[in-house]
Homo-oligomer: A and B are copies of this chain.
C-alpha cells in the first residue's frame, strides 16, 4: 500500500494533502455525529467557504448527508472511513513525525521519506530525490549554493535536474579538502550538481594535512581568497551529517585526535565540525571555507538517513542552524525515541 501511495505522491504531490483534508473533515463530522458548518470550520481551522466547498463535494459523492440542522456522514461515508483508516494511519504517521521534529528543533520544514537508508539503497536514493527536491524548492532564484561531500550528498546530486534558477547558480564546496575519497568529496559533488543542473561550479582545493605555515600562505593566494569569499557569501548550504567516529576514521585522523574526540563526547559531524550530544562544537577540521558563523543569512538544508545516524542528526540540529531537514523514516524514529 505504501508503495502505491509513494508512486502517486510523485505524480500528484498535493493529492496526499487533499486526502488527509477530506478524511479529517469526514472523520470530524463522524465523531460529532451532527454538526454545523461554522462550528466545524472553526474547530478544523478552516475558513467557512473552503469547508463549504469540501462539504458540497462530499455530498455529491454521497458520503455526507445534509439535513436542516447540520450534517452527518452517510452509511457509505461510514464504510469509506473504515476502509480509509489504515491508509490515513500510515500517511499521518510520517507527517506527524515531521511536525513533531520540526517543532522540537525549531525548523522550518522536515521531510521524511519511508524506509531505512542503512538497510536499502533505494531508500538512500529516495532520500537523494527528496533532498534534490528540497533544494529545488529553496532555490527560487540564482545564487551561490555550497555543498558538502558524502554518499548521501552524492545521491542528492544525482537527482538534481535543470531548472531556471539552478541553471544560473554557482555550486561550490562548503569547505576545502576533508580527507574523503575523491568521488565523495565536496568538490566532486559540486561539479556533479553543476553538470546535472546546467549551472556553474568553482572548486576549492586545499590539500589535507597541511602545516599551519603552508596553510597561511595558501589562503593568502588571491584566487583562493576570492573563492573563499564567494563561499562565505553563499545563499544556500546543503550538507550531510555523519557519525563523529565513523567520519574521523574515514578521514584517517590520527589516533590522538580520535582519542580527544572520544574524550570530548563527539557524536556527530557536519561540514568539518564535530558536535557532542548537546550540540556543542568540540572539534573543527583544519581547512578553509564556510564557517559556522557565516551561516547568519544562509538557508541550510541537512540531508541524512539511516537508523544509526538518528542520534547524530539530533546533535547537529541542537546547534540549530538548519532550516530544512530531509531524513528517512528510520532516522526519524530514532530521533523520536531520544526526544522523550
Which residues of A come within 8 Å of B, CB atoms? 1, 3-5, 7-8, 10-13, 15, 18-19, 22-23, 59-66, 74, 76, 80, 83-84, 87, 129, 132-133, 136, 159-163
Contacts and interface: CB of A to CB of B under 8 A. Distances in A.
Contact of A159 (B15, B22, B62, B163): B62
Nearest to A13: B61
19 contacts: A1-B1, A3-B83, A7-B83, A10-B63, A11-B23, A11-B61, A12-B15, A12-B22, A15-B15, A59-B161, A59-B163, A60-B133, A60-B136, A60-B161, A61-B133, A62-B133, A62-B161, A65-B162, A76-B129
Contacts of A83: 3, 7
B7 A80 contact: yes
B12 A62 contact: no
Which 4 A-B residue pairs are closest in the complex by CB-CB distance?
A62-B161, A11-B22, A7-B83, A4-B4
B1 A8 contact: no
A132 B3 CA distance: 32
Contacts of A64: 161
Contact of A87 (B7, B22, B80, B132): B7
Contacts of A18: 11-12, 15
A162 B67 CA distance: 9
Nearest to A160: B62
Nearest to A3: B83
Contacts of A13: 61
Contacts of A65: 161-162
A269 B10 CA distance: 48
Nearest to A67: B162
A4 B7 contact: no
A62 B162 CA distance: 9
Given A12-B18, A76-B129, A80-B10, A4 B159 contact: no
Contacts of A84: 7, 11
A1 B5 CA distance: 10
A236 B87 CA distance: 38
A87 to B, nearest CB: 7
Contacts of A159: 62, 76
A213 to B, nearest CB: 46
A246 to B, nearest CB: 29
Contacts of A76: 129, 159
Nearest to A1: B4
A129 B62 contact: yes
Query: Which of A65, A160, A162 has the most C-beta atoms of chain B within 10 angstroms of its own C-beta?
Result: A162
Given A60-B136, A62-B132, A161-B59, A8 B19 contact: yes
Contacts of A23: 11
